[in-house]
Amino acid sequence: MTHGPVQRPPDGRLVPATYVVLQRQGEHGTEVLLQLRRGTPFMDGWWACGAAGHVEPGESFLEAGVREAREELGVVVQTGDLDHVATLQRTCALPEPVEQRVDVVVTTTSWSGDPHVAEPDRAAELRWWPLDGLPDDVVPHERLALEALREGRTGALVIHGFEQSLTLVAAVGRNGVIGDGASMPWHLPADLRFFKETTMGGVLVMGRGTWDSIGRALPGRRTVVVTRRRGWSAPGAQVAHSLPEALLVAGDTEVFVVGGGEIYAQTIDHATRLVLTEVDLAPEGSTRFPHVDPSVWREVSREPGPEGTPITAWVVLERRDPSSAASG
């Protein structure tokens, strides 16, 4: 079984996988068998296709599907009974080789044996779901394939993650400090209003420490919290256990990365924009914003802060075009 980054290919090689959807006719129409993921390094607590895994050397996509159905569901399917649903090419804003993936989703209504959780260390349960009534927390790219199946778009080509971009948003003291790891080092109502205007309607990605310092989900925005703590949850937050997982959940959109320091450090090399509040204070604190290299970033706008506040300016920077930087 695999749905995520558990093997690292050589540079430039796509990671291939097969996903198997068992379907039947039920009381509410077509039903599909999904597994609730547990104990895996990726998307724990989310519903996923009944069986899935990497294509091994020498295997076809269909042969991999037969093997995975046997290993994970304890059922026997034939390659001739597997129908192509969709091909998914997916990535995220982190251009690492392990994030370059091609998934082939196949389906069947014919198998022998009683489907059951054959790998209990990796799945909590199996459940039949109406194709017209899937749960909210289906692994995002798998939902796209299931929607193609529901809509009769068999053989669909689905592209996911290539339109995603990262914008880092932070308030930074003149000493580079952004916090002490537990709370904000200042209270700036004008900057809170600016933050709201900048991120309203968007997707926020943050670490759990940043979530704790805010204390709640912010209205009008979707929030994805990255935490290593298994079983953590909070009202209004979607949970991810790694940055790639968080970006998969965030989807094909501009993603606002809003802290803390570790998340900023992991994303600044892949961001396209920085939206920074320059604060004329030098608070104590161990959490700093990464160095902004002027050879990489160019300032495109600067708005002075309100008089009587320590806000020097709100600054937007964009990543320089490497070709133009080299020629200049």
pLDDT number for residue 58: 95
* Residues 43-52 pLDDT 10s: 999 999 999 9
Q: What CATH number does residue 265 fall under?
A: 3.40.430.10
pLDDT number for residue 4: 41
Asked which of 127, 142, 160 is the last residue of a domain, the reply is 160
State whether the Cα torsion 229-233-237-238 is positive or negative: positive
Q: Are residues 176 and 299 in the same domain?
A: yes
Q: Are residues 19 and 43 in the same domain?
A: yes
- Is residue 229 domain-resident? yes
- Is residue 244 domain-resident? yes
pLDDT number for residue 326: 45
Q: Does residue 131 carry a pLDDT above 90? A: yes
Q: Are residues 172 and 50 in the same domain?
A: no
User: In this structure, which amino acid lies at residue 20?
Assistant: V
Q: Are residues 175 and 323 in the same domain?
A: yes
Q: Are residues 99 and 119 in the same domain?
A: yes
Number of domains forming the structure of the chain: 2
311-319 and 273-279 beta bridge pairing: antiparallel
Q: Are residues 150 and 170 in the same domain?
A: no
* Residues 55-93 pLDDT 10s: 999 999 999 999 999 999 999 999 999 999 999 999 999
Asked which of 160, 186, 210 is the last residue of a domain, the reply is 160
Q: Are residues 151 and 184 in the same domain?
A: no
311-319 and 297-304 beta bridge pairing: antiparallel
Alpha carbons 328 and 324: distance in angstroms, whole number: 6
- Is residue 10 domain-resident? no
Asked which of 125, 160, 195 is the last residue of a domain, the reply is 160
- Is residue 1 domain-resident? no
Residue 271: count of CB within 10 angstroms of its CB: 20
Task: Calculate mean pLDDT across residues 123-139.
Answer: 96
Q: What CATH number does residue 38 fall under?
A: 3.90.79.10
- Is residue 145 domain-resident? yes
Q: Are residues 108 and 22 in the same domain?
A: yes
- Is residue 201 domain-resident? yes
- Of 31, 56, 54, the residue nearest 42 (C-alpha): 54
Q: Are residues 85 and 177 in the same domain?
A: no
Alpha carbons 4 and 246: distance in angstroms, whole number: 12
Tell me which residue range forms the domain holding 282.
165-327
Q: Are residues 59 and 182 in the same domain?
A: no
Q: pTM, whole model, 2 decimals?
A: 0.89
* Residues 263-309 pLDDT 10s: 999 999 999 999 999 999 999 888 999 999 999 999 999 999 999 99
